[in-house]
Structure 1
């Protein structure tokens, strides 16, 4: 499967799973040539074809394709420039994650070991006007340490070493958010304690192949 075909697949997945509606969301991938493949603006992700994917450089200059580049291109390019380990970015408006972004402050609490390991610390980024530099400013303090960002009043962003990695992080984030909201409806969710987290990180590299800096988690 080509990279463009994989982008089409993920676009259809985020639409089918209701992580986006109408024309919401944008998806991009870094190529081996360090160019960026990104969805064009004004297209329902359920309708995306390979013709709706543009190729640009890291400054947003069009290399190939027709159409207007995604309005959130600044967010994507900022992430790629700051994180050499990131090769894909998924931005969606999943209902439960976005709902938490409307009410939570600063960081999403650590509730699930598997989410902590794959996503790191999840910041609730201050509201910023969409498509502006304010959005990149809202994530800059967390960009080095997190793989998922909840944007106040504006959905979420996940990043990954590959497109499917970034997509699955979005899927896991939304599943976790849905579970947290369900728990809040019947009581106070039990957070992982500092000891729980230290115990988890003490085995994370040998058991899961994931090395995390505890100072960036607690």
Structure 2
């Protein structure tokens, strides 16, 4: 249990991760924030207005679960409320990392979730990475936008903002950020080469069968997407109330929210019309190919 470490060890761990995110180029100036829940009602976090690359252990701030400062000369990050909300709403989470890694943040700005079944390691470790609805920084809007996804996700793209990851300890939260950024980079590079090749449903099922022997999810698992269909841990499209807010009969509006298509599909079937659903990212890809073909003629 993460609480078993001493406060001094927790402070050293935060500073180590601060140095890593700074060295990786995931934060600029005073960007980002990191925290560890050190006890039932105590959280250590990075201060506001300080570069993560040059922080020292004595500059960290201790707050309670309501954000009241308990110890420290500096003020806690204004975005610590995101961390506190996660600690209150998801069991087993004791650390959170928020940064602006360029490739992940590019997807967040483009309004595209990282949810395709592309890389086995990502399918196992993260499943899909949702795009949460835009929230004004330092307000309750961001924790509100994340909360609906907490049950099935541990990594999040914050629309037009950055990335956020959580874990049982600060290293797990950091490694999830590392994995997400690599996934985003590979996905973008593959797009520039002309194609993102998804793994077949049969092979995804093999991966998820192995995963079920390695990882026991207390809070669910969202799986990943193939051709508009989410493949869950059981190898089938999740049903209503499953891994995605709004259920599986939902499509992204491009702003992190979802809208139900169930009634529309039923009406279309009754009238004999065929209805398809398409994600914003897929539409962009189709239009881009059409434009490229026109230009090359």
Give the TM-score normalised by the residue count of structure 2: 0.69
Local SS of the residue matching 2:145 = helix
Deviations 1:111-134, CA, capped at 9 Å, x for gaps: 212112222321111211111111
Q: How many residues are treated as equivalent by the alignment?
A: 217
Greater relative contact order (CA < 8 Å, ≥ 6 in sequence): 1
Q: Which moved more, 1:118-127 or 1:78-87?
A: 118-127
Matched, 1:55 2:24: no
Superposition map of 1:56-95 within 5 A: 56-95=63-102
Question: Out of 159, 165, 169, which is 1:162 matched to?
Answer: 169
Q: Distance in 1 between matches of 2:40 and 2:182?
A: 34
Local SS of the residue matching 2:53 = coil
Matched, 1:133 2:133: no
Deviations 1:30-73, CA, capped at 9 Å, x for gaps: 11344110000000000111122111111001111111110111
Local SS of the residue matching 1:63 = strand
Q: Distance in 1 between matches of 2:110 and 2:200?
A: 22
Q: Which has the larger radius of gyration?
A: 2
Long gaps (5+) in structure 2: 1-7, 222-231, 249-297
In the TM superposition, residue 196 of structure 1 has moved relative to its aligned partner by 2.8
Equivalence for 2:122: 115
Q: Distance in 1 between matches of 2:17 and 2:178?
A: 11
Question: Out of 107, 119, 122, which is 1:100 matched to?
Answer: 107
Does structure 2 conserve the Cα–Cα contact (< 8 Å) formed by 1:121 and 1:145? no
In the TM superposition, residue 179 of structure 1 has moved relative to its aligned partner by 0.8
Give the TM-score normalised by the residue count of structure 1: 0.93
Q: Distance in 1 between matches of 2:93 and 2:134?
A: 24
Equivalence for 2:46: 39
Question: Out of 200, 210, 213, which is 2:207 matched to?
Answer: 200
Does structure 2 conserve the Cα–Cα contact (< 8 Å) formed by 1:41 and 1:67? yes
Long gaps (5+) in structure 1: none
Equivalence for 1:14: 21
Q: Distance in 2 between matches of 1:71 and 1:193?
A: 43
After superposing on structure 2, the runs of 4+ consecutive aligned residues of structure 1 that deviate more than 4 Å are: 210-213
